[in-house]
Each structure stands twice: as structure tokens, then as C-alpha cells.
Chains A and B, each alone.
Chain A
Amino acid sequence: MHRDPLLTVEHLTMRFGGLTAVDDLSFEVRRGDITALIGPNGAGKTTVFNCVTGFYRPSAGRLVLSSGERFDAAAVDALTKSGRRYSRQDGLFLLERMPDQEIAREARVARTFQNIRLFTGMTVLENLMVGEHNPLMRASGYSLFGLFGLPQYRKREAQALDHARTWLERIELTARADDPAGALPYGAQRRLEIARAMMSEPTLLCLDEPAAGLNPRESAELNELLRDIRDERGTSILLIEHDMSVVMQISDHVVVLDYGEKIADGRPDEIRNDARVIAAYLGVEDEGEVEEVEAALAAGQAR
């Protein structure tokens, strides 16, 4: 089952002064996959994320998002040489050249944050509506039609409201739609942030530790939500996660980082049995400890 890559990371390097946080990293996120990026603390996972979403500009390397039917290497090279940032008709985007808001708007890469960033003083519904800002802004004639209450905008707003309703139902927050987002419990805030990102109908959804701070039940619900997003909405997911039960159960493909370098890349079962990963992940050399970790991982999967 080899599918075309949606995101191709080629020789990504990110330096902060003398520190090389990510060193010559290459991997692929295939279309329709849930790809997990794992590694010990400080391995450079979030840095990769910030490069992909444009919050950092990489020191070197190429990040290609190909949302067209097929990955066309010749077209990518042509675009790279042309010096342009993206080509909408080919569905090709060179993310390393684009600023964050352009990546979200044009390449349709949405993201969530490790420390939740909701609009806390706005209601749950308003948060979702901001997620669909760009099409609504166009429909409101950049506020001119909307200001005069033209029906074109009202129709589009009703449509967005319906879209928001389906997400509210999916994340089980319909009853709390008119409550401020800041008043929600932690798990609900996590779900809302994912739904808000999904309101922009992204091709790639990047989740930075979505299961952090969730209890086992919430964590299981999250797995279900992410599977739904992949299977029903057809959105590919790239996620950073520490919770192995999430990683092993839902991901189709795992990339392991350590000290900014890739040490493994493959299916979850391959990764689970990779002694190098286990050793690096917990910083252990001892055989006995590795066995313990393996046992823990197996238990995590059974949960």
C-alpha cells in the first residue's frame, strides 16, 4: 500500500545559533495516513512542526506539500527553480518559503498547539466560526456586503453555522455552544481546538501532543475522533505524541527522532520492536531495561 506523499520533508535542517535542533531530516507523510512523530523530550519534534506550519523558517531543506492527484517530481523541481512560493493550479506548495498564515490559508495546513490556544473569551461557537474565517470573509465581500446585510453573506453564514453544528455534535459540545471556551474542562478544550482547526477544511492537520493531560477515557475518545477525521473527512494527520497508547493504536506510520535526527521510520509494529528506538527513547542501554520498556509498550497497546 504505497500511496503518494502529501507532505515530503527533504533534508530539513534547523539551527538556532550554534544549536542544531533538526539535522538533515527527511520523511514523508502519505495521503490518508496518520503519521506520528515521536521522540524523547528535546528531540526536535516541535521544531519540525513549527517548520512545517511556517512558524519557523528552516535553515535548509525543502518541504513540499502536494495536494494534487499525484506527486509530480518534475513539477516540484520546476516550481523550486522558478523561485515562486506555490502554484495553486498544480496544488504544490513549498512550505519552507511560505509564512505561517499563508500556509494555513493556501496550502491548507491547520495545526493545534501543545499548550492549548483557544479564544478563551469567545464562545465555543464563535471559536468554530473563526476557524472558517477566510471563506466567510470572501462571502461578506470583505465586510462590504455583510455591512449592508446582503443575502449572499447571510446564506453563507447559515452554511458555516451548519458546518459548526456538525462539529459541535461530533465533539459533544452542542449543549455548551454558547459558553465561553475558557470555561470548558481541559479535555473539551482539546477537542474544540481540533474542531476549530478542522473548520478550515485542511488537507493536513498537525496536532502537537493532542493527548497530553487527557485521562484514559478521553484519550480513547480522541483516538476515535482522529480516526474519523482520517476516514470520513479524508484529512491526513501529522501528530506529535508522547502517549504510546495513542501512537501505537491509531498511527499508520511512525517517525522517530532523537537529537534532531531520524533514527527510525516505519509501521507501528516495526517501531515497537526496534531496540534502537526503545533505547534512545528512554535513554537506556541495559538489555533488562529494554525488556521492561517493551513490556510497558505491549501493555499500552493492549489497553
Chain B
Amino acid sequence: MSSAAPGRFDFMRASKDAALAAIIAAGLSFPILALRAEPDIDNRITLQGRWSWLFIAAAIAFAGRFVLALLNVRPRRKPATDEALPASAYRAARFIGPAGLALLFVFPLAMFAALGPQGSLKWIDNYGIQILIYVMLGWGLNIVVGLAGLLDLGYVAFYAVGAYSYALLSTTFGLSFWLCLPLAGILAAFWGILLGFPVLRLRGDYLAIVTMAFGEIIRIVLVNWSVVTNGDAGISSIPRASFFGLPFTAGPNGFAATFGLKFSPIHRVIFLYYLILCLALLTNFVTVRLRRLPIGRAWEALREDEIACRSLGLDTVKLKLAAFALGAMFGGFAGAFFAVRQGFVSPSSFTFIESATILAIVVLGGRGSQLGVALAAAVIIGGSEILRELDFLKQIFGEDFDPTQYRMLIVGIAMVMMMNWRPRGLVATRAPTIALGERRAISGALVKEGHG
């Protein structure tokens, strides 16, 4: 369609293009911008038209497209590759891990020193702990999705199992957090194996559907089995974790008094921060070690070609179950941590959107890449937290404007852009597990994504 000679403006083509864009923009924005549901005085929902908004959106699309078409700017049809990073980037990547780790260890103390106990609470809790929970969940799911190539859309079920395990064991039997933590992991792993059995024969879309259903089953059981789980109301006043037997209380036997500190709730938060950091690092350590063992190579081989695996005598059933169980176990650990941090669990924390977020983290980060998953968790979870900070936007868009309402919209746009720009995630290359010479990264284009 490059009939227009260079330097000549093709107004006809540009206006056609722009008109089409304006129609599409109007169609897309009609339900979002033009119609607004408002409760009236009797609290009935009424629809109000905001036709000027629709017109403005269409006009912007028309003008923008017209200019682009006139200047003959067309998206470059370059095939999406992931090899764009130069070798120096890979050398730099080697330092990101240790540097990030050091930053993570210093972060709460630095915040505490800089902002004091009140000011640092938000940063350590809402950012630090929240992001690390998702880093851990992402790493746990990475075993199943990234290494073994099994698409799991119900990972939140294991998170729920872990959280409820701790909540129920501690409130019913009075077991301590440190005892419940491994139990929560074991129970979640057990449910992982239980889920694994019926889905062993399934692949691709079918596997995704069944795992998604499994996630919903667990949540609906939690809602309806009110005798045990207390239904929608959830379980509250879950005991808090102690620091090797020292509770974080103001009393004389508390943590602060023992160490001669002035009592502050921030101590508990900092403790929780280091706890989840250690749990996440444990997940990472186990995954990195397993990847270099026969089981890790077998998982990756399974992702590459299951039939070839069977022809080599690999026990694909056990391998898949091991991947499900191990991924679930780390989900269970994270769940127990979630319960002890919140002191309250209810089924509404374990909806499908959580599974989708965790999977988005893994896909955005790059399946199989530990560093990529951690970065993606920081971007997605940290990014949506940062939206709360953008109060100055109210001065531009008016008092009614609430940036957090746009969270999913922004995540969606980010995902679309990422999938165009780097379809295999932030870190698209695969590092070999063993090498005769120097380890060289393998282009994502050759690495398969698994059959499901």
C-alpha cells in the first residue's frame, strides 16, 4: 500500500484511515465513556449519557490517526524477536541478582532510618511485603509453568490451602506458626498431587480449564463449608508469629522489651518482611538447584517435547506430579505467611483474579526466568500500589478522579504492549543448566512454551 510517492501527502487515504480509527474509537469508548451508571435519590441505577466524552475520544483518534497516516508512519512489521539484547546486557544481568538481593536486605532498615517508624510502615508493608509475596508466588508457579510447561490457572487454590491450613490449625489446635508453616506446605503439596492426577492426560487449553475450575472449587468450598471455614465471614484473630518465642507485644516479655527497644508496631512488620524474604529466597534456591539436577532438566525436556521424553524412559507422570506438588508447596508457604500477616483470611482473597495476576507475573517476567519473574512482580504489584500515590492527578482530572480505579486498565495496556515488544517476557532467554565451556544464553525463539 505504499503507492503514495514520498513527500506527497495523500489526503484521501489519510482521511479514510482516520475515519475508520474514529469509528473504532467511538465503538470501543461507547460503553465506557458515553454511558455512566449513577444511583439516583432512591438508590436506583440510572444511565446517563456523556456524549461529549465520546465525541472527544473519537476526535482525538481521528486527529491522531490522520496525522500519522499523512506522515506515512506505519508500524514496522519487524518480526518480534527476543535477541535484541547485546552481550553486555547479559554481563550486566549477572550483577542485577546480587545487587537486588543486597537492596532487598537493606530496604526495610534504610526506610526505617529515613522515614521513622510511622513513615516507613507503608513502604515496608504495602510495597516490600506485598511485592515479595507475589515474587514468591511467581517463583512457585514458575516451577509448574516455566519449567515443566504446564499451564496452571488455579494456582491461588494452593495459596488458599496454605492460608486456611495455618488459620484453622492455629485457631483450633493452638499450633504455633513455625509448626504450621511446614504443615501448610505439606497440605498444599498434597492438594497439588490431588489436582495433578486428573489433569495428567490433559494438555493446553484443557489443562488450563481444569486447573482454573480447581481453583474455583477450592474457593467455593471455603465459602460454603461454613461449619469449618466460617464461610464468607472468614477466620479472624489468627495468632501472630513470634520471634523465636518472643511475641511482638508492648509487655515486659515482648520483643521490644527484651532487646531494650522502644515498642513500635514496625518491629513486627520488619520481622514479617525478613520472613517473606527468606521464604522467597528458599523458593528461589530450591528452584535454581533443582534446575541443575536431573529432575529440572527432565521438567524442561518435558516442556520441550513430551513424546521424546517418553521415548527416553522418563516417567512423565511422576515428573508432572512432582512439579505440581513442589509448586503447590511454595504456594502453601506463601499462604501461611499471608494468614499470619493479615491475621484474617476469607475466601474473597483467593479469587480467580489472583491466579491470573500470578500467571501474568510469570508470563510477563519470562517463563522459566527467576530474575524476570521477580522484576515482573515488582512492576505489576508495585505499579498498582504506586497508583495510590498519584493524588496530584486529582488536580488535573478533578476531585472525583481515583487513579486506583484504572489499575486493571493500565495492567492490561502494559500486557498488550509487552506482548508486542517482548512476547516472551522481560527475560526471554534461557540459561543452560550445564556446559562444557562458557554458559551462553539461549534465544527464546528456540525454547518451547510447553503443551499446556
Contact = CB atoms under 8 A, between A and B. Distances in A.
Contacts of B434: 123, 125-126, 129, 161
Interface string A92-106: 000000001111111
A197 B312 contact: yes
A183 interface: yes
A123 B436 CA distance: 10
A104 B308 contact: no
B50 interface: no
Contacts of A143: 290, 293-295
Given A122-B304, A130-B298, A110 B312 contact: yes
B304 A136 contact: no
B289 A117 contact: no
Interface string A78-116: 000000000000000000000011111110001111000
A140 interface: yes
A15 interface: no
A133 B446 contact: no
Interface residues of A, number: 49
Given A122-B304, A161-B434, A196 B312 contact: yes
A104 B293 contact: no
Interface stretch (A174-182, A209-217, A264-272, A278-286): A174-182
A183 B435 contact: no
B432 A123 contact: yes
A53 interface: yes
A120 interface: yes
A111 B298 CA distance: 17
A301 interface: no
B446 A120 contact: yes
Contacts of A123: 432, 434-435, 442
Contact of A113 (B289, B311, B437, B440): B311
B253 interface: no
Given A117-B305, A118-B305, A119-B304, A200 B313 contact: yes
Interface string A7-40: 0000000000000000000000000000000000
A272 B309 CA distance: 37
Contact of B447 (A106, A110, A117, A121): A121
A199 B437 CA distance: 21
A134 interface: yes
A134 B313 contact: yes
B297 to A, nearest CB: 5
- Interface centre among A100, A103, A119, A123, by most B CB within 10 Å? A119
A177 to B, nearest CB: 5
Nearest to A121: B447
A1 interface: no
22 contacts: A55-B311, A103-B313, A104-B311, A104-B312, A119-B304, A121-B430, A121-B447, A122-B297, A125-B435, A133-B298, A134-B314, A136-B294, A137-B294, A140-B294, A143-B295, A146-B289, A147-B293, A177-B435, A178-B438, A178-B439, A180-B447, A200-B313
Given A121-B446, A122-B304, 5 more contacts: A103-B313, A123-B432, A126-B432, A147-B290, A153-B293
